Amino acid sequence: VAETAGYPEQLAVLRANDWINADGEEIVHRDLLESLASSIDRHEQVSWTLAQNAGRRNRTDDQTSEQNSDGENELAPDCHISYAAATVGNSGVGAYCIELKIPGKVERVSSKFQTTNFARMHLTACIDALRETRRLMRKDGLRIVLDTPHELTANAVNRGWLETWSQNKWNRREGDRVRNADLWQEFRRLMQRHEVEVRLALDSATSDVMLQQAQNLARREVDRVREDTEFKEQEEAAVKEGTLIRIFTDGSALKNPGPGGWAPIMEVKGKRASQSQGYKHTTNNRMELMGAAETLDFLVNLQADGKIDDVEKVIVVTDSEYLVSAMTRGWAKRWRKNQWIKQDGDKAANTDLWKRILHAGDRLRKVEFRWVRGHSQFSEAFSTENEMCDKLAKEAAEQPEDKLLVDDGYEE
């Protein structure tokens, strides 16, 4: 209650929304918070102190110092981290919500994952919280208080287990490998950059709210994964039947501009074929576009020869936001209509490649452009294919110079 009341903006928002939270549910203890808000209104200023681990420390985030159990003043932390993490059954889907309190600012971060478990979700939340703190504060040597609801995380730090595991090269006394050793190592590495106090969190209104948010986020991700799975199964069936062709493509430029390459993988009737080509001097964007243009031109020729008459749709999967945005938002077609002049009056770049892509799209029945996150560390649809294309494109760009072509359309 003290934490909730300690955020005037939170209390004001709740009252304005008739005590309904962001999930459309009535907030817990509404009657007490409503009475508390009325009481606060009668005073000019109210400061709040939330007792953490009573008997050890009394702390207030609005003060510049704290008192320890001996009554001595200590400096307030540079950052106070609290979080909640949740997983949904055995689905492998999880999420976290993090709150970072730094001087003059409260930052909230949330994220979801498709391949995780309960312990990994908590460790990932701690790691990401420390990374976000470093990003916001832009320095090491910070004094950080990290409140965790995960007993194993708190015990591993405060009982010395983490250091023992490190000394034993991440093996337990019994000789077994420490579970989630990769995350424990990263957590330890980040903590060593700061002075971090890890505390086992007490229940609070804020932690309850964050836990509810994490659970809702994880459940929504489960629903999305199920929908994606069903959609992908239907798509896979269409690929096998030959009514749908999928193109995975990526481009690379080693120095941008510099030596570059493109590499598409085309999937037709369950079979895949790849191609790649390198160029002496070009840009990353041109290689992204050229990979798509070359493959679509190839399909136009196949269609002219009557070899893909049954194809109803072509999907181009790429990590190029430049390509996907221009095609899905209609920018490329507007540029063509306006004689390749953009809205700001400048000439559109790479017009030779945009002309080829649009021409192929006009000839084929239906072409859809789909974006995939490049170099993703998590399991996502088509991330494996994207990595394969990226590898082939880089290999094409790294060929000896006599193997590389000249990109005639490149404009300095």
**Other beta carbons within 10 Å of 105:** 9
Residue 197 dihedral angles phi and psi, to the nearest 5°: -105, 120
Distances, alpha carbon 332 to alpha carbons 216, 323, 336, 340, in Å: 38, 9, 6, 8
Beta-bridge mates of residue 112: 95
Q: What is the value of pTM for the model shown?
A: 0.49
Q: In the chain, which segments carry CATH 3.30.420.10? A: 79-228, 242-403
pLDDT digits (tens, 9 = 90+) for 78-99: 999 999 888 877 667 888 889 8
Asked if the model's pLDDT at residue 7 lies above 60, the reply is no
Beta-bridge mates of residue 405: 279
Six-digit token string for 92 = 């492998």
Asked if the model's pLDDT at residue 298 lies above 80, the reply is yes
Separation between Cα atoms, residue 246 and residue 269, nearest integer Å: 10
Beta-bridge mates of residue 369: 316
3-state secondary structure (DSSP) of residue 7: coil
Looking at residue 25, its pLDDT comes to 66
Query: E strands, 307-408, where?
Result: 313-318, 367-371
pLDDT digits (tens, 9 = 90+) for 308-367: 877 889 999 999 999 999 999 899 999 999 999 998 899 999 999 999 999 999 999 789
Rounded to 5°, angle at Cα 244 from 241 and 247: 125
3-state secondary structure (DSSP) of residue 226: helix
Q: Give residue 169's pLDDT band: very low, low, confident or very high (50, 70, 90).
A: very high
Separation between Cα atoms, residue 248 and residue 320, nearest integer Å: 11
3-state secondary structure (DSSP) of residue 102: strand
Rounded to 5°, angle at Cα 144 from 209 and 129: 50
Separation between Cα atoms, residue 127 and residue 186, nearest integer Å: 7
Looking at residue 9, its pLDDT comes to 53
Average pLDDT, the chain: 82
User: What is the distance, to the nearest Å, from the Cα of residue 216 to the centroid of all Cα atoms in its chain?
Assistant: 17
Reported as type and span, the H/E element at residue 156 is helix 151-158
Q: What is the mean pLDDT of residues 41-61?
A: 51
Which CATH architecture fits 79-228?
2-Layer Sandwich (3.30)
pLDDT digits (tens, 9 = 90+) for 123-136: 999 999 999 999 89
Six-digit token string for 61 = 């985030």
Q: How many CA atoms lie within 13 A of 141 on its CB side?
A: 1
Six-digit token string for 221 = 């991700």
List, by residue number, the catalytic residues: 250-251, 288, 319, 375, 390
Asked if the model's pLDDT at residue 34 lies above 80, the reply is no
Name which of 82, 16, 90 is nearest 52 in CA terms. 82
Separation between Cα atoms, residue 164 and residue 167, nearest integer Å: 5
Looking at residue 21, its pLDDT comes to 66
CATH placement of domain 242-403:
3.30.420.10
Q: Give residue 144's pLDDT band: very low, low, confident or very high (50, 70, 90).
A: very high
Q: Are 263 and 396 in contact (CB under 8 A)?
A: yes
* Residue 374 DSSP label: T
Separation between Cα atoms, residue 23 and residue 39, nearest integer Å: 27
Looking at residue 69, its pLDDT comes to 45
Separation between Cα atoms, residue 167 and residue 121, nearest integer Å: 25
Higher pLDDT, 145 or 114: 145
Looking at residue 93, its pLDDT comes to 80
Separation between Cα atoms, residue 283 and residue 253, nearest integer Å: 6
Q: Give residue 231's pLDDT band: very low, low, confident or very high (50, 70, 90).
A: low
Higher pLDDT, 42 or 124: 124
User: What is the distance, to the nearest Å, from the Cα of residue 383 to the centroid of all Cα atoms in its chain?
Assistant: 14
